[in-house]
A and B are shown apart, each in its own frame.
Chain A
Amino acid sequence: MIRLVLAFMHEARPLIDYYRLAKAECPHPYPIYANDQIKLIVSGIGKTAAAAAVGYLQALGLPSETIAWLNLGIAGHGTLGMGQGFLAHRVEDQATGRCAYPPLVFPFSAKTSDLQTVDHPLNRYEANRGYDMEASGFVQSALRGATAEWVHCYKVVSDNPSLPLGKFDKAGTKALIEKRLDEIDPLVSMLIEQVLEWRAVNDPESAWDEITKRHRFSETRRAQLRRLLQRWKAMEARPILSCIDPGAYPNAATLLDDVRQRLSLHRLAF
């Protein structure tokens, strides 16, 4: 339901422990950890690595599945203090100038900020702007399989004008993420909740499997069946399988005709 993409193992470790994620058994080109709801991948540094890791997870999943994507990690910031977390409301690729605007439609409580993805570490900070090295690649890649509402970046400030970027500190990085689990966990939980809510409305009707295994449906007829099942669910209080027996029809066409006929007798009531 949610995919977490992080650049470093030191950023990922607190989340692996917190969510009790197990390392994927079959060999993958990236470290992947998972439980029933969360899949976490450690991409390596840079926007290209992040984009490739997202692509890899996309290839492992079902294309029609609704999934939330979250890029987590540390970042520099021109204004926020060390250890503060923020959600990106604008992600700009410094090299191309290309921008993405993750919509803030869910009830996020974290502070939000501009985030610029740079190709090389910087020691220059503009006010009200965060700096990282993965977000733009992550976002552009994730948007190939999800709409923008499901794709977010949350960063914890590791350097700012008062404490500029120094030598990479593994233990310090782990501690920064750990200390922000109070914001990360509600964010992850909320995104999972939203995905479940969305799937409840949009996933195929439960009768789908029962009907499609009884008859051979062409692609066109599958589309017709999908819509008829949606219409049935919208109009009829009774489940379709309590009204029809899919096995009683000689073929898919007669089943579709009968469902259509039954629906045509229905009159909308408020």
Chain B
Amino acid sequence: MPSFSALYIESPCRDLPRVQKIRQQCAELPEVACARYGEVFNPVAQNFRLQKKRPALILAQKHQGFVLPTPQDYGFGKENSYYFSHLLNCPYDCRYCFLQGMYRSAHYVLFVNYEDFEREIEETIRACGNAPSTFYAGYDSDSLALESYSGFAEYFIPVFQRHPQACLELRTKSAQIQSLLNQEVSDNIVIAMSFSPDNVGQALEHRVPSFAKRIAAAQKLQARGWRIALRFEPLIYHQDYAQHYEGLFKKISGALDVERLHSVSLGAFRMPQSYFKNIVKRYPEEALFADEYTVENGLTAYPKKIEDEMFSNCEMALRRDFPEANYYRCGKEREACL
């Protein structure tokens, strides 16, 4: 459970019931009023790395852009792919994540006007007619990590249950699954869980629940009938990586019913160059960023030769343990993924 340093509340949403509930949960914290969340979140003179030690929770209202089209090649949906972000920043501290370089502040911004998101999601679904559509909820944060405060899944799962032609992907490294276990299972909700080999996780995924806890959560959800997807993104190049990923695939395929998985994906390490530069400035001593990278189309990535070698080895290993039919490569073309 994250421990917040303070609770900032945009004055206009102070009395909303969702905000009242969080205020009660955070009664011990300093409560600070602000006019707009940007006053706290956007100033230039901030230190992301220091804030990441003990971020604050900012409760705010979003005013526009509730639902946005995903970048090309993102995710499994072929057409009509969208994302929406109720939360900015993530309670986990994964060094390779583009969120480490995206914002100036490490505070969490929780947009509490879910009803506006719901309205725009439903309008988008209607605009797609009878065609299937996919909505990704884990783009700017972890979908479930702050669930005990946000009640996000609890609110949005019923929204998608009313629209079976639309698929919702919740992407998470969390083991907090109670709100899913409390709800009726739906075929159009996908719980996408991200995993890395143990050594990578220990070195780079700080504050993430242990592999054992997360795989146990995945097993429980699968046993309950939820559709689980596996995300091995980003692949991290390191000594003996092929063996480590192979070991990971074996461990997971032994723990889950692979035939019932919704999808399995691999993704390359890549992020906009400006974010990468920010991360290097923030974590100059991090060995991951001391490696060799190339910049192409404004994206920082491993050199193509290394990336190709990793995909080739990892895809081969993956095929041995998982059905090929539900595999896809995230950002298959070496073009803008973000």
In chain A, residues 180-235, which have Cβ atoms closer than 8 Å to a Cβ of chain B? 194, 198, 201-202, 227, 230-235
Indicate if the CB atoms of A90 and B33 lie closer than 8 Å: yes
Give the number of residues in A that approach B within 8 Å (Cβ atoms).
37
The smallest C-beta distance from A107 to any residue of chain B, in angstroms, reads 8
Indicate if the CB atoms of A103 and B46 lie closer than 8 Å: yes
Chain B: which residue is nearest A267 at the CB level? B239
Say yes or no: is B115 at the interface (Cβ < 8 Å to chain A). no
In chain A, residues 136-164, which have Cβ atoms closer than 8 Å to a Cβ of chain B? 143-144, 146-150
Q: Per-position contact with A for B72-102: 1 when CB-CB < 8 Å, else 0?
A: 0000000000000000000000000000000
Say yes or no: is A109 at the interface (Cβ < 8 Å to chain B). no
Say yes or no: is A45 at the interface (Cβ < 8 Å to chain B). no
Inter-chain contacts of A270 with B (CB < 8 A)? 199-200, 202-204, 238-239
Say yes or no: is A241 at the interface (Cβ < 8 Å to chain B). no
Say yes or no: is B127 at the interface (Cβ < 8 Å to chain A). no
Q: Per-position contact with A for B14-48: 1 when CB-CB < 8 Å, else 0?
A: 00000000000000001011110001100101110
Report how far A147 CA is from B40 CA in the complex, Å.
Answer: 13
The smallest C-beta distance from B51 to any residue of chain A, in angstroms, reads 5
Indicate if the CB atoms of B6 and A233 lie closer than 8 Å: no
Say yes or no: is A64 at the interface (Cβ < 8 Å to chain B). no
Residue of A89, A101, A103 contacting most chain B CB atoms (<10 Å): A103
Say yes or no: is B333 at the interface (Cβ < 8 Å to chain A). no
Say yes or no: is A119 at the interface (Cβ < 8 Å to chain B). no
Inter-chain contacts of A99 with B (CB < 8 A)? 34-35, 39
Indicate if the CB atoms of B287 and A234 lie closer than 8 Å: yes
| Stretch of B169-177, B226-234, B258-266, B289-297 that contacts chain A | B289-297
Report how far A89 CA is from B53 CA in the complex, Å.
Answer: 17
Inter-chain contacts of A101 with B (CB < 8 A)? 8, 32, 34, 39-40
Size class of the contact patch on chain B? 35 or more
Say yes or no: is A263 at the interface (Cβ < 8 Å to chain B). yes
Chain B: which residue is nearest A268 at the CB level? B238
Tell me the interface secondary structure of chain A in the complex.
mixed
Say yes or no: is B300 at the interface (Cβ < 8 Å to chain A). no
Say yes or no: is A60 at the interface (Cβ < 8 Å to chain B). no
Inter-chain contacts of A268 with B (CB < 8 A)? 237-239, 287-288, 290-291
Inter-chain contacts of A198 with B (CB < 8 A)? 50
Report how far A89 CA is from B238 CA in the complex, Å.
Answer: 43
Indicate if the CB atoms of B32 and A105 lie closer than 8 Å: no
Say yes or no: is A26 at the interface (Cβ < 8 Å to chain B). no
Task: Knowing A104-B30, A105-B53, say if A269 contacts B239 (CB, 8 Å).
Answer: yes
In chain B, residues 237-261, which have Cβ atoms closer than 8 Å to a Cβ of chain A? 237-240
Indicate if the CB atoms of B50 and A149 lie closer than 8 Å: yes
Chosen A-B contacts, 23 in total, with CB atoms closer than 8 Å, are: A99-B34, A100-B43, A101-B8, A103-B5, A103-B6, A104-B6, A105-B54, A106-B53, A114-B32, A143-B45, A144-B45, A147-B47, A148-B43, A149-B47, A202-B284, A230-B290, A264-B292, A268-B237, A268-B239, A268-B287, A268-B288, A268-B291, A270-B199
Residues of chain B at the chain A interface (Cβ within 8 Å): 5-6, 8, 30, 32-35, 39-40, 43, 45-47, 50-51, 53-56, 107, 199-200, 202-204, 237-240, 280, 284-292
Besides A227-B280, A230-B290, A234-B284, 17 other CB < 8 A contacts? A90-B32, A90-B34, A104-B56, A105-B53, A105-B55, A106-B53, A106-B54, A201-B284, A201-B285, A234-B287, A234-B289, A235-B290, A263-B290, A267-B238, A268-B288, A270-B204, A270-B239
